[in-house]
A and B are shown apart, each in its own frame.
Chain A
């Protein structure tokens, strides 16, 4: 059966020429000389293993914080009046579509040694020396959570909206407390939304570049930053290709695994 494939062809040609082909071609460089030496270097040398762990650790932290902040927000927007919900939506969408560069720059202004926060904390006498909020783990976390939070809020909002309000009313009618309703009704029934949000946030974190490059100040190394350095500074294509292959495998692995789980979840 071929009905309807034709309209997809131009887009598929573009995706082949400017996406699949160049990526596969580049990944091929990693096998230069017919050896796996570059993979051994990426996965064996302490310096690079540490970058992998760093990336993984940051992705886990970012996902956890996004969930902690994203659930209440998605929940509130989904359960409030339509007028408030629209307003709540605007203030999630506005940061989402504002340039990541603008936001990263703003965080540098806010978190720097002489930044807004430190000045304010010193002025009110809470601290005497500026806190190190930039060019470290904390700075990268704050910046990344800010960028990725909307990706968590939207699927959770969707999940809470899809939930049948009659179930909540029934639980209330039976005298369940708020916490009990949350733990026994909302949480289990919105799990697919949580899962979808966590997956996308985690996967996007793994390949993040702009925020760690600018807010990490060279001290917080993530995979994408390392790959960029290998190309622009060391010109080591085979090694960059090997790192890219591992990053891609990690990303697609996590994503496919999550898809598998969600599909099982959806089964009756």
Chain B
């Protein structure tokens, strides 16, 4: 095979793989605008009835609002705890640094179901089931590794000469941190915060155990899929895909490029 022929074969294969990757995201768009009363494809006509149903249903709105503020609180807490942790891992010199590193990234590897069952047992005892801040604590555990990975990557590329210059010019350590280090690190922090938000906003397994009667959006979607599949789910899906797209655009625009965090 000539060089260009095998390259063309690669491109054809990859196009097919991209179709596989994007198909489930694309298919929910036409269904969400369907005028049929049940799942039908292709849709017989256009209507906004499923969006109206979503907006008119206080349960859906309630779940959406709850997921939004749980996600926001998770992002804030994960940044507040994760960024100092990343500093300690990237710059600290203390015994057991490797162990701290392992513990910080463990929530990525330990199956979420195990964390969920463990927290369910504990929260049932402490009467925390259904409390929004309980979910925030659990989601922060899951979001911490993202914050740590992105921030450590940012610190690795960081030019420490700039900090030394600030200190040489008489800045206090606090001033250096607030006026030099953190502003320079902002792209990483933006990415970390947005990823933490999305990871919480989409999280189902922990919520399945800890949310109790107070639905989050993913739990409401899960129950809906289990009971009856009506195209309201498609409308919610479209809005979720758009939200993720906006977040990815924000990361691309203001954050540290996603490619930068690939090691």
Task: Report which A residues bind B (CB closer than 8 A).
Answer: 1-8, 10-12, 14-15, 17-27, 29, 69, 72-73, 75-76, 85, 88-95, 97-110, 112, 114-116, 119, 146, 149, 154-155, 157-158, 177-179, 203, 206-207, 209-210, 214, 224, 227-228, 231, 237, 240-241, 244, 247-248, 251-252, 255
Contacts and interface: CB of A to CB of B under 8 A. Distances in A.
A14 B81 contact: yes
Contact of B31 (A15, A101, A109): A109
Interface of B: 1, 3, 6, 10-11, 13-14, 17-18, 20-25, 27-28, 31, 39, 41, 80-82, 84-85, 87-89, 91-95, 100, 103-104, 106-107, 109-115, 117-122, 137-138, 140-141, 144, 198, 201-202, 204-205, 208-209, 218, 221-222, 225-226, 229, 233-234, 236-237, 240-241, 244-245, 247-248, 258-259, 262-263
Given A10-B84, A89-B259, A114 B39 contact: yes
Contacts of A252: 109-110
Contacts of B107: 15, 19
Which DSSP category, helix, strand, loop or mixed, fits chain A's interface? helix
Contact of B17 (A20, A69, A97): A69
Nearest to A114: B39
A97 B103 contact: no
Contacts, number: 253
A3 to B, nearest CB: 5
Given A15-B104, A22-B121, A26-B118, A4 B94 contact: yes
A247 B111 contact: yes
A59 B103 CA distance: 25
A249 to B, nearest CB: 11
28 contacts: A5-B100, A8-B85, A8-B100, A10-B80, A11-B81, A19-B107, A22-B119, A24-B118, A25-B118, A25-B122, A29-B121, A69-B20, A72-B13, A72-B14, A73-B17, A76-B11, A92-B21, A94-B25, A94-B248, A99-B221, A99-B244, A100-B202, A102-B236, A109-B229, A115-B41, A146-B20, A210-B205, A251-B110
A91 B20 CA distance: 11
The 6 closest A-B pairs by CB, nearest first: A4-B92, A207-B111, A106-B24, A7-B84, A8-B88, A22-B118
A8 B89 contact: yes
A10 B81 contact: yes
B229 A108 contact: yes
A255 B6 contact: no
A102 B95 contact: no
A97 B244 contact: yes
Which DSSP category, helix, strand, loop or mixed, fits chain B's interface? helix
Nearest to A178: B6
Contacts of B221: 99, 101-102, 105
Given A102-B240, A158-B262, A5 B202 contact: no
A245 to B, nearest CB: 9
Contact of B244 (A92, A98, A155, A248): A98
Given A3-B93, A25-B121, A110-B27, A209 B113 contact: yes
B111 A5 contact: no
A178 B3 contact: yes
Contacts of A214: 222, 225-226
A232 B210 CA distance: 12
Contacts of A115: 41
Contacts of B208: 228
Nearest to A157: B262
A92 to B, nearest CB: 7
A223 to B, nearest CB: 8
A89 B258 contact: yes
A109 B31 CA distance: 9
A11 B1 contact: no
A154 to B, nearest CB: 5
B127 to A, nearest CB: 15
Contacts of A149: 17, 21
Contact of B218 (A25, A27, A99, A119): A99
A102 B21 contact: no
A18 B137 contact: yes
Given A98-B241, A108-B229, A14 B137 contact: yes
A97 B70 CA distance: 18
A102 B28 contact: yes
Contact of B247 (A18, A97, A157, A178): A97
Nearest to A101: B221
Contacts of A210: 204-205, 222
A116 B25 contact: no
A106 B121 contact: no
